[in-house]
């Protein structure tokens, strides 16, 4: 029996050195600096962002590191270890959204696209840049490696082009960062063509170390909620199922469309407008519609409204100042479990790998466990005692072996700092 594999986070020093070394090797110059942005994992509040609801992500210690040097022209050159042989070269004067002649290939769109978006947000004539990317956010694991790319580019461009939006990681300018978030979301939606909400970029740019970020997706307002797990003798285990997750095969769009139809029938702008007390009446109205999607609309709406309520309850629990132990810990675990159940039964966006991970983690002593991120693969999380992380990971790995799934990977999710400058 092999020991479970934990994906390590590069330390800030290692990240800065690796990105700088790649930059020197490829561009034969010194970068102006190294900037980073974290991946994220959501504690609760799933598929609520585009419904105007609440989410509760933390920033991961796993980060994208970007060594970058400002250029005198409008050229952008990008390299990552995966593409060392080939440097992507483009021009800020000719790049454009996906599906247009200026379309930018693959991962380069997540970085160059931020400059493109900022120019449309009023920061005209930005300088080009050379940049080397070294990221240890697992790719396509539902931990937002894509937002980490965008947000590292956002804080780097902010500084070398003197936009004055981000502040520093120590003294962040939250309003400025909210504007960077909007530009990173636009990058992901228009340049990369992925129709995602704003949770990922908000987490990467606006979290605080030792805290979760309560994000009100209606107006973008945030509250920093104490979540210093190590101090409570707890840990958050991330289980990367390695199952194929693709949000662009239409499932994500179908969920969003169902929520919009339900909101329209109920006469509200967003499903977050339905108070939990009014949910039974709202569900009655949806089941009384004669469309053949009535059952689907009932289930999707029930998930969204109850999930926002669970998020509100978990936030209140974490803010009450008492240690996260005993009945309080049990209640936090129940809220996470109920979230998974709702995503499995009502939102129908889990998969066997996610369900098995969650069941095995609970059976091995996790206080609560749920899928996290968009679903259909990606990652699950388990709230565990600090000294039990490896045992729970082993139990999940064993269950995967029994089921014949590919081996999962694990991460230790310590609530970490938001995007900023390293060196
Ligand atoms: P997630 O954000 O959940 O990890 P996405 O599909 O949204 O998954 O984003 C993954 C994409 O981000 C990849 O297909 C790639 O284009 C880009 N990407 C992320 N990290 C890297 C990296 N280290 N090097 C190159 N591209 C990356
Ligand atoms: Mg993503």
What was the ipTM of the complex prediction? 0.98
Provide the pLDDT for residue 1: 57
Euclidean distance between CA atoms 255 and 376, whole angstroms: 12
Provide the pLDDT for residue 250: 84
249 is catalytic: no
Active-site pick, 49, 88, 200, 309 = 200
CB within 8 Å of 223: residues ≥ 6 apart? 213, 214, 315
Mutational pocket test of ligand 1: of 146, 252, 372, 378, the residue with most ligand atoms within 8 Å of the beta carbon: 146
Q: Are 349 and 343 in contact (CB under 8 A)?
A: yes
Tell me the average confidence (pLDDT) per consecutive run of 10 residues in the chain, 423 residues long.
84 96 97 98 96 98 98 97 84 96 92 98 97 93 94 98 91 95 97 89 97 96 96 97 74 93 98 98 96 95 98 98 96 98 97 97 98 93 97 98 96 96 87
Euclidean distance between CA atoms 165 and 153, whole angstroms: 13
CB within 8 Å of 407: residues ≥ 6 apart? 2, 5, 242, 397, 400, 401
Q: Are 46 and 373 in contact (CB under 8 A)?
A: yes
CB within 8 Å of 175: residues ≥ 6 apart? none
Helix, strand counts (H, E) of the chain = 11, 13
pTM of the complete model: 0.95
Mutational pocket test of ligand 1: of 139, 191, 371, the residue with most ligand atoms within 8 Å of the beta carbon: 139
C-alpha dist (Å) from residue 363 to 130, 343, 391, 401: 49, 20, 11, 16
Query: Closest residue (by CA) to atom 8 of ligand 1?
Result: 140
The response to whether residue 113 sits with its C-beta less than 6 Å from ligand 1 reads no
Q: Which residues of 196-233 are buried (b: 16+ CB within 10 A; e: fewer)?
A: bbbbbbbbbbbbbebbbbbbbbeebebeebbbebeeee
Closest approach atom of ligand 1 to CA 80? 24
The response to whether residue 204 sits with its C-beta less than 6 Å from ligand 1 reads no
Query: Closest residue (by CA) to atom 5 of ligand 1?
Result: 140
């Amino acid at each position: 029996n092999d020991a479970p594999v934990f994906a390590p986070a590069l330390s800030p020093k290692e990240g800065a050195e690796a990105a700088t070394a790649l930059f020197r090797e490829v561009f034969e110059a010194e970068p102006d600096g190294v900037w980073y942005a974290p991946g994220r994992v959501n504690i609760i509040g799933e598929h609520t962002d585009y419904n105007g609801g609440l989410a509760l992500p933390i920033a991961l210690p796993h980060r994208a590191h970007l060594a970058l040097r400002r250029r005198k022209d409008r050229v952008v050159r990008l390299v990552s270890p995966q593409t060392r042989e080939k440097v992507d070269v483009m021009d800020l004067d000719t790049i454009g959204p996906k599906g247009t002649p200026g379309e930018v290939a693959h991962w380069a769109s997540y970085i160059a696209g931020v400059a493109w978006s900022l120019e449309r947000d009023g920061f005209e004539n930005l300088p080009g840049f050379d940049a080397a990317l070294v990221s240890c956010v697992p790719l396509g694991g539902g931990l937002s490696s894509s937002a980490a790319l965008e947000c590292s580019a956002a804080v780097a461009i902010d500084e070398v082009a003197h936009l004055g939006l981000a502040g520093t990681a120590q003294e962040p300018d939250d309003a400025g960062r909210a504007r960077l978030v909007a530009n990173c979301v636009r990058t992901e939606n228009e340049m990369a063509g992925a129709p995602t909400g704003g949770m990922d970029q908000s987490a990467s740019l606006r979290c605080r170390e030792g805290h979760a970020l309560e994000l009100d997706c209606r107006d973008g307002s945030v509250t920093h909620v104490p979540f210093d797990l190590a101090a409570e003798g707890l840990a958050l285990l991330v289980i990367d199922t390695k199952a194929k997750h693709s949000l662009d095969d239409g499932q994500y769009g179908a969920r969003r469309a169902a929520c919009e139809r339900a909101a329209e029938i109920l006469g509200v702008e967003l499903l977050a407008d339905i108070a939990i007390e009014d949910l039974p009446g709202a569900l009655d109205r949806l089941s009384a519609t004669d469309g053949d999607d009535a059952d689907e609309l009932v289930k999707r709406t029930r998930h969204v409204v109850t999930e926002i309520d669970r998020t509100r309850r978990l936030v209140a629990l974490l803010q009450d100042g008492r240690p996260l132990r005993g009945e309080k810990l049990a209640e936090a675990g129940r809220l996470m479990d109920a979230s998974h159940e709702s995503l499995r039964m009502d939102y129908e966006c889990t998969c066997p790998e996610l369900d098995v991970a969650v069941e095995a983690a609970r059976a091995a002593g996790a206080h609560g466990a749920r899928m996290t991120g968009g679903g259909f693969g990606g990652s699950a999380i388990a709230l565990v005692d600090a000294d039990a992380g490896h045992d729970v990971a082993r139990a999940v790995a064993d269950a995967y072996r029994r089921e014949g799934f590919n081996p999962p990977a694990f991460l230790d999710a310590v609530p970490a700092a938001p995007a900023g400058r390293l060196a």
